[in-house]
Amino acid sequence: MKKCQFHDSNLHYANFSETKMEDSFFVDSNLVESSFQAVTVKKDLSFNNCEINQIDFLDTHMKGIDLSKATFDDLIVNPELIKGLKINPWQAGQIVAMLGVIVED
């Protein structure tokens, strides 16, 4: 998928596994429990104003993926493949918690 755009889409349970994506983005879409397993990302893949709770990124290198404008409570990822993922400060706390780190005040 090269330079693909998905706008205002209901992609709940969609399966993009083993897809090669280049300069693609999702906008105002529901991707809850979608599968992006073993996806190859060239350049950028972004999720703007999308609900991506429980999205499955297992076996996907996260470099080039921008989740900073998406909303989620939980993701399915390989911790060793998370390097290069773009998130916002609020999401950083969620990612740390998913990795099992305990943050105390």
d(CA 97, CA 18): 27
The residue whose two tokens read 């879409």 is 29
pLDDT confidence of residue 12: 96
Which residue shows structure tokens 């330079």?
3
The larger pLDDT score, comparing residue 23 to residue 103, is at 23
- Please state the three-class secondary structure of 52-96 as a single string: CCCEECCCCCCCCEECCCCECCCEECCHHHCCCCECCHHHHHHHH
pLDDT at 57 (0 to 100): 97
**28-83, pLDDT tens digit by residue?**
999 999 999 999 999 999 999 999 999 999 999 999 999 999 999 999 999 999 99
Q: Cα 97–35–96 angle (5° rounding)? A: 10
Is-contact 71 90, C-beta < 8 A? Answer: no
Residue 88 phi/psi, 5° resolution? Answer: -100, 170
pTM over 0.85: yes
